[in-house]
């Protein structure tokens, strides 16, 4: 089995079922039709519940006919009995009766299905041509507590927050400190942030407020308000982000909102955390817009470009905090040049014991990390603090003696002070570490990630390598995220390995090294597989030998391919 066979086999499992509950667009660019195309393109099985028939082409909508209440309910009941969804995208709801039926039905299935589906509501209100699809006073409040994510555009957000029935409950003002000078664009941006937070609070769900129709923005910037996100770093739960992409100026944008919400449902159905689903869906829409095409005389449609695999299509992510709220326009992260790796990391042991570290260097190991949880900040014991610094001085010296790439985990100040080859930091450290100082002295930087979202945040700092984990279950560290597994690792590698050295970590040992190698990941970090072995040096050498064999075999074309 070569690596491409393995990749396609691991990714081509039975497709997860995703539903769209939406209106039919006879022109094929938006609604049910866009959703089903998206689901097919993203390896999901799409089922449809049609709420409305529209007679439309690329120029205008000539007739809108709502399906009967019994037909709506019959579609829901029939599908649920046989094809239960992992995720549901809800688009056009044309009447109050439809909102109410759906709310009752969602309440009921939440108590009957073993796994409640993830529900995305794209509150479609007007067609891109300007035609209104549903009554101005539509009340979405029956859906409160039944939705996981809302994806209004600027127009819909304004209507939900300021004009519709929900807005009657609103009595807050834009809470701006009068002493802060804010330019008019930032005021609009702050209004979006405030509205998105309000809506998230009312619906008790995540809100992605889209900026595609906010033409006053230079870039297209969405506001993403997340509630609690199991499986994500605590720094990224209950947080507000700006997700910014270069504005793609095109008339071929019909159905972009439908495509985004159904793509989010698909990535959720493939078991990605919501942060990942959102950035992947944005990349999917960006690629679709960039390659969109025109068929009729009006706006054209998005291209279908498959699983996003292009870093340039990914949005830039900025965490909004009370400190940077006033500069709400998007500022790029300052660019630092970190030292490049001098040699591949290969099998990269992570150790906390000086003796083991020395044994491994003597056994030929050329890249190693010193990871100790002796904590210089919180430890009141000055002896421990002294031990930590003495150890760091010692391991840096050993690294130099053996011409090895010696990384210090966490303790970047001591690594800087004593001139380590590099530091390895986690996502939580990114807010506090002085990355400019690390780059300025010519040190390398390795960053951890546990999702697409975190790997993209790492990428925004252009590190020397990106670690991807944890791949398999581990007892070495308590992880907030779930094991990523081989399929996700393969996806991450495909996106990042053209740009960075990639390192897999977590539960890796001699017995699973082959499946790791088949993902195409460049390097492998191990803790227990070396440190817990009876003879760490021998364990390292066995892993290294097998890794070299595997990577050589996988990078060479097979004999039969050469003959052909």
Ligand X SMILES: Cc1ncsc1CCOP(=O)(O)O
Residue ranges of the annotated binding site for Mg(2+) are 410, 429
Q: Which stretch binds ligand LCLJCK34 (CB under 6 A): 85-93, 127-135, 172-180, 422-430?
A: 422-430
Task: Mention every residue, 6+ apart, whose C-beta is less than 8 A from residue 272.
Answer: 280, 451, 452, 488
C-alpha torsion 472→477→482→488, nearest 10: -50
Q: Does 480 participate in binding ligand LCLJCK34 (rule CB under 6 A)?
A: no
Q: Are 469 and 461 in contact (CB under 8 A)?
A: no
Smallest separation (angstroms) from ligand X to the CB of 415: 17
Q: How far apart are CA 134 and CA 141, in angstroms?
A: 15
Taking the least distance from each CB to ligand X, the nearer of 119 and 529 is: 529
**Closest to ligand X by CB, 447 or 526:** 526
253 binds ligand LCLJCK34 per the rule CB under 6 A: no
470 binds, among ligand X, Mg ion, ligand LCLJCK34, none (CB under 5 to 8 A by kind): ligand X
If contact means CB under 5 to 8 A according to the sort of partner, which of Mg ion, ligand X, ligand LCLJCK34, none does residue 446 touch?
Answer: ligand LCLJCK34
CA separation for the pair 371, 373 (Å, rounded)? 7
> Is the CB of 399 or the CB of 507 nearer to ligand X?
507
CB of 506 to ligand X, least distance (A): 4
Which ranges of 42-88 would DSSP assign to H, the alpha helix?
69-82
CB of 512 to ligand X, least distance (A): 11
154 interacts with ligand LCLJCK34 by CB under 6 A: no
Among the candidate windows 141-149, 186-194, 222-230, 418-426, which touches ligand LCLJCK34 by CB under 6 A? 418-426
- Choose among ligand X, Mg ion, ligand LCLJCK34, none what residue 369 binds, the Cβ cut-off being 5 to 8 Å by kind: ligand LCLJCK34
CB-based contact 62:55 (threshold 8 Å): yes
333 or 474: whose CB is closer to ligand X? Answer: 474
- Nearest C-alpha neighbor of 49 from the set 96, 105, 8: 105
- Name the residue among 431, 435, 382 with its Cα closest to residue 413: 435
Least distance in angstroms from the C-beta of 225 to ligand LCLJCK34 = 25
Helices (H), 83-112: 96-112
Q: Of all helices (H) and strands (E), which one includes residue 149?
A: strand 149-150
Q: To the nearest whole angstrom, how small is the minimum distance from the Cβ of residue 367 to ligand LCLJCK34?
A: 10
User: H or E stretch including 505?
Assistant: strand 502-505
Q: Please state whether 415 falls in left (phi above 0), alpha (psi between -120 and 50) or beta.
A: alpha
Name the residues that contact ligand LCLJCK34, by CB under 6 A. Answer: 350, 369, 371, 409-410, 424-426, 446, 448, 467, 469, 477, 503, 505, 525
């Amino acid at each position: 089995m070569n690596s491409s066979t393995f990749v396609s086999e691991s990714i081509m499992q039975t497709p997860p079922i995703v539903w769209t509950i939406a209106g039919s667009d006879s022109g094929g660019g938006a609604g049910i039709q866009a959703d089903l195309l998206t689901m097919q393109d993203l390896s999901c099985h799409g089922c449809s519940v049609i709420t409305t028939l529209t007679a439309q082409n690329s120029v205008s909508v000539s007739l809108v006919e709502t399906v009967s209440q019994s037909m709506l309910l019959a579609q829901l009941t029939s599908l649920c009995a046989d094809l239960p969804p992992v995720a549901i995208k809800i688009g056009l709801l044309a009447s109050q009766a439809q909102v109410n039926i759906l709310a009752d039905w969602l309440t009921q299935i939440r108590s009957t299905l073993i796994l409640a589906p993830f529900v995305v509501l794209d509150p479609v209100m007007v067609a891109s041509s300007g035609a209104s699809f549903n009554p101005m006073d539509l009340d979405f409040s029956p859906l409160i507590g039944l939705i996981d994510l809302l994806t209004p555009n600027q127009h819909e957000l304004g209507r939900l927050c300021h004009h519709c029935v929900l807005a009657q409950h609103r009595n807050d003002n834009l809470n701006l400190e009068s002493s802060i000078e804010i330019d008019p664009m930032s005021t609009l941006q702050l209004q979006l942030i405030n509205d998105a937070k309000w809506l998230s609070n009312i619906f008790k769900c995540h809100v992605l407020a889209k900026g595609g129709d906010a033409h006053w923005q230079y870039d297209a910037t969405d506001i993403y308000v997340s509630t609690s996100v199991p499986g994500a770093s605590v720094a990224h739960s209950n947080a507000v982000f700006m997700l910014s992409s270069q504005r793609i100026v095109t008339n071929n944008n019909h159905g972009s909102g439908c495509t985004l919400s159904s793509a989010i449902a698909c990535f959720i159905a493939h078991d990605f955390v919501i942060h990942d689903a959102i950035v992947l869906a944005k990349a999917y829409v960006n690629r679709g817009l960039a390659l969109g095409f025109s068929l009729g005389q009006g706006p054209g449609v998005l291209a279908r470009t498959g699983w996003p695999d292009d870093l340039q299509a990914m949005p830039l992510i900025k965490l909004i905090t009370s400190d940077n709220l006033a500069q709400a326009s998007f500022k790029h992260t300052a660019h630092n040049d970190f030292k490049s790796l001098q040699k591949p990391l290969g099998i990269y042991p992570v150790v906390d014991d000086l003796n083991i570290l020395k044994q491994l260097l003597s056994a030929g190991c050329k890249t190693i990390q010193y990871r100790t949880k002796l904590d210089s900040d919180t430890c009141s014991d000055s002896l421990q603090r002294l031990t930590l610094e003495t150890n760091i001085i010692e391991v840096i010296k050993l690294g130099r003696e053996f011409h090895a790439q010696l990384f210090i985990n966490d303790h970047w100040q001591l690594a800087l002070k004593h001139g380590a080859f590099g530091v390895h930091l986690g996502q939580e450290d990114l807010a506090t570490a002085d990355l400019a100082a690390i780059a300025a002295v010519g040190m390398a930087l390795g960053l951890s990630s546990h999702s697409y979202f975190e790997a993209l945040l790492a990428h925004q700092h252009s590190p020397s390598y990106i670690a991807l984990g944890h791949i398999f279950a581990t007892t070495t560290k308590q992880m907030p995220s779930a094991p990523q597994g081989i399929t996700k690792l393969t996806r991450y590698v495909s996106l990042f390995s053209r740009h960075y050295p990639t390192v897999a970590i977590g539960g890796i040992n001699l017995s699973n090294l082959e499946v790791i190698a088949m993902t195409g990941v460049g390097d492998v970090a191990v803790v227990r597989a070396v440190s817990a072995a009876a003879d760490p040096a021998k364990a390292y050498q066995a892993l290294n030998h097998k890794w070299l064999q595997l990577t050589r075999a996988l990078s060479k074309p097979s004999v039969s391919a050469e003959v052909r």
